[in-house]
Amino acid sequence: MTNCCRHLKALTRKNFILWYRAPRCSLLEILTPVILMVVLWIIRLQVPRTSVDKDGVLTKKYPVQLAVTPGPGDWEYGYNKELN
């Protein structure tokens, strides 16, 4: 156990020295994920949300897995009620 603690202390000290020597890279290492998350959040705000109920899923035949299994005759793959 003490050997693990010594390794952890040595690696932590090494990483701190590397971060201290290259402050711009360290700052970039922190800011890049933050900027990416902000960009994704802005994109999410711009895209409108559309909700689809169970009937809409069945009529448009979206490839999603429903929580409720459709009964017989409700919807089958490749079946078109309009043709019959």
Averaged pLDDT, 10-34: 91
* Alpha carbon 49 to chain centroid, angstroms: 17
CB neighbours of 75 closer than 8 A, spacing ≥ 6?
58, 61
**DSSP characters for the chain?**
-HHHHHHHHHHHHHHHHHHHH-HHHHHHHHHHHHHHHHHHHHHHHHSPP----HHHHHHHT-S---SS---TTT--TT--GGG-
- Which pLDDT score is estimated for 84? 47
pLDDT value at position 70? 60
For residue 23, pLDDT beyond 60: yes
